[in-house]
Amino acid sequence: MGKGVKEWIAGSILFSVIAALALGAYTRNSLWKDEIGLWKDCVRKAPVKERPHHNLGYAYYEAGQWEEARKEFERALALNPGYTLSLYNLGLVFYREGRVREAIDCYQRALSLKDPPPETYFNLGLAYHQGGLYPEAIKAYEALLKIRPDYENAYNNLGLAYHRSKRWGPAIRCFHEELNRNPENPYPHLYLGDLYYELRNYPEALLHFRKALANPHLSGAERAQRIVLSIEGASKPSRGRGKRGIS
């Protein structure tokens, strides 16, 4: 075999190898561009491992495909019932779907397992609040604050649960604590305004509504609603908070 023929064969082989590698890289890159496609590929290659199912579920969740996300988290849990993050994320899906009781059950089960994320307490409190279970919501937020006293909006949500329970004093203290920790947050002022308005203490309500409205981060809908309440409150005499017994 001549030297030229050998070089041609070697070149052909090298070209074939390069082409195969390039095709593989292109295929893999196209999968990486799409998280769902990537993790579907991983599930196809490792169908009995919980993590690919979990990550595919998370990709579906991020895409707003709740039903598909739920199926993948359930598949991950069928493979590993102690997979804390899948339980937590399944709770998020149920909450998004309006299935509050199922969400509560998932969060409770996640908290009984090893190393649940602190967010579990926060979202459990949200689910309890959504279900009208305000004492339980208070316990969830208090448990969160024991381990993460700096958790943003935890004092706000605890204050809202106290407010719903008609426990005015603890609610006010929680909103002020949130303000102490996050003075740029407009929502403690908003919630204090709502609370004082309910108590017919209109001067205090107006004071906090105005502070909230001065914050550019307040949403348009909330801004409009509180402007209406501010106008109404300005035209009413105050009964004073002592009339309703804050404790």
Residue 122 CA to residue 199 CA, distance in Å, equals 28
- Domain assignment present for residue 194? The answer is no
* Residue 34 binned pLDDT confidence (cut-offs 50, 70, 90): confident
- Domain assignment present for residue 185? The answer is no
CA 40 to chain centre: 24
DSSP conformation class of 199? T
> What's the structural domain count of the chain?
1
- Domain assignment present for residue 140? The answer is no
- Domain assignment present for residue 226? The answer is no
The winner for highest mean pLDDT among 4-13, 109-118, 221-230 is 109-118
Give residue 54's domain range.
21-117
Mean pLDDT of 101-111: 97
Percentage of the chain beyond pLDDT 90 is 68
pLDDT of residue 1: 52
| CATH number where 101 lies | 1.25.40.10
CA atoms within 13 A on the CB side of 228: 5
pLDDT of residue 221: 62
Assess contact for 103 and 136: CB atoms under 8 A: no
Region of 200 on the Ramachandran plot (φ > 0 left; ψ -120 to 50 alpha; else beta): left
pLDDT of residue 6: 45
Indicate if the pLDDT at residue 242 is higher than 50: no
Indicate if the pLDDT at residue 228 is higher than 60: no
Residue 217 CA to residue 23 CA, distance in Å, equals 49
What CA–CA distances, in Å, run from 183 to 38, 152, 175, 189, 202?
Answer: 42, 11, 11, 10, 22
b/e 130-142 (16+ beta carbons within 10 angstroms → b): eeebbebbbbbbe
- Domain assignment present for residue 145? The answer is no
In three-state secondary structure terms, 247 is coil
Residue 73 burial (10 A CB sphere; 0-12, 13-18, 19+): buried
Indicate if the pLDDT at residue 23 is higher than 60: no
Average pLDDT, the chain: 82
Q: What are the structure tokens assigned to 4, written together?
A: 């030229």
DSSP conformation class of 216? T
Assess contact for 216 and 184: CB atoms under 8 A: no
User: What are the pLDDT digits (tens) for 190-208?
Assistant: 999 999 999 999 999 999 9
Where do we find the tokens 């017994």? Answer: 245
Mean pLDDT of 67-78: 96
Helices (H) and strands (E) in the chain, counts: 13, 0
pLDDT of residue 70: 96
- Domain assignment present for residue 209? The answer is no
- Domain assignment present for residue 126? The answer is no
Percentage of the chain beyond pLDDT 70 is 75
Q: What are the structure tokens assigned to 170, written together?
A: 């603890």
- Domain assignment present for residue 72? The answer is yes
Residue of 140 and 185 predicted with greater confidence: 140
DSSP conformation class of 61? H
Indicate if the pLDDT at residue 106 is higher than 90: yes
> Angle formed by the axes of helices 50-62 and 35-45, to 10°?
160
* Residue 220 binned pLDDT confidence (cut-offs 50, 70, 90): low
pLDDT of residue 237: 43
Where do we find the tokens 């303000």? Answer: 179
